[in-house]
Amino acid sequence: MTNSTFPGLDAYLDSEGGPVERALERAVVTLEQCEAPLEPEVLGAIRHGVMGGGKRLRPILFASAYEACGGEAKEASYDLAASLEMIHAYSLMHDDLPCMDDAALRRGRATTHRVHGEEVTIRAGAALIPAAALQALDASGRLGCERVQCLILVRTLMAAAGAGGMVGGQWMDLLGEGLALGTEDLDALHRMKTGALLTASLEMGALAADADKDTRDALRMYGQATGLAFQIADDVLDATASPETLGKNPSDADLDKSTYVALYGLEEARRRARDQVDIAVSALNVAGIDSPALLALSRYVVERSK
């Protein structure tokens, strides 16, 4: 996609959103129809958590990186992208549980455990983790990736989801409740909790399209900077927008968490988010990656309203 064929961000999000939703629907139906079926209640909770809306930013970042590296969009490429959203969906389902954030509202509706119960939601979230790994393995095979490439893709996803990434970041977040974390700790926490999976989305898109090392490195840098910008913007929204607009509660302040807004104030937090976008854009420019979609997405993460 070039500047002259890029339809603008809203139209782009719509056009990528359709195939992403269809891939997620296929993934949920696969779980519903698998040989040793999960109980209906667990499947109901999975459907609630996975098909409940959301921006679908991770699979869309995957699709944009894949296309920027010359990959041809197909059903299997969206199935691979969906594996990222399956991990993201489980993380939100578990994050909302009473033993973590005890949230009532997510994506504008009741959280999964408020509808399906706590025990069922724990099981549904747990089932999504191996399901996402299998989804990534199967989809990359169908996409025609070499065997070793398939394994690297699954490894990238699981490493980002694991103790060195999202789970580790969540753990730091829980331990940090009630403490006033400084810049270094807050950056480290969010690079793992939010940044790792966002970065993996870019890396996996590049890997699936068999991009060279320089391109992959540049997309990793873009992902890291965009991930941090995303989190700072999240803290700004958390402090300035209503639960109705955001479609979620409680806020981080309610949970006594450290935030970039508490650390820097609103204006400085906004400035730092924009700085990260500049870093992301320059990573693309230096590597000669000409992607209007990735450019627009990095601005979107700081300009979004929810």
Binding footprint of ligand GRG on the chain (CB under 6 A): 54-55, 57, 88, 91-92, 94-95, 100, 107, 166-167, 170-171, 193-194, 234
CB of 100 to ligand GRG, least distance (A): 6
- Residue among 162, 160, 159, 158 at smallest CA distance from 171: 162
CB of 283 to ligand GRG, least distance (A): 21
268's tokens? 């400085």
CB 6 within 8 A of CB 292: yes
- Residue among 9, 93, 79 at smallest CA distance from 44: 93
Residue corresponding to tokens 């195939």? 19
CB of 289 to ligand GRG, least distance (A): 23
Residue closer to ligand GRG by CB (options 73, 100) is 100
CB of 51 to ligand GRG, least distance (A): 12
Residue closer to ligand GRG by CB (options 135, 215) is 135
Residue closer to ligand GRG by CB (options 211, 233) is 233
CB of 305 to ligand GRG, least distance (A): 12
Residue closer to ligand GRG by CB (options 143, 181) is 181
Residue closer to ligand GRG by CB (options 67, 234) is 234
CB 85 within 8 A of CB 201: no
Residue closer to ligand GRG by CB (options 198, 211) is 198
Residue 201 burial (C-beta neighbours within 10 Å; 0-12, 13-18, 19+): buried
**What does the radius of gyration of the chain's CA atoms come to, in whole angstroms?**
18
Residue closer to ligand GRG by CB (options 108, 141) is 108
User: To the nearest 10°, the Cα dihedral for 230, 236, 237, 240?
Assistant: -170
Residue closer to ligand GRG by CB (options 140, 170) is 170
Measured at CB, which residue is nearest to ligand GRG? 54
Strand partners, 105: 110, 249
Residue corresponding to tokens 């950056």? 187
CB of 267 to ligand GRG, least distance (A): 22
d(CA 305, CA 297): 14
CB of 139 to ligand GRG, least distance (A): 20
All residues at 6 or more sequence positions from 50 whose CB lies less than 8 Å from its CB, including other chains: 24, 27, 28, 85, 86, 89, 128
CB of 65 to ligand GRG, least distance (A): 16
d(CA 177, CA 32): 37
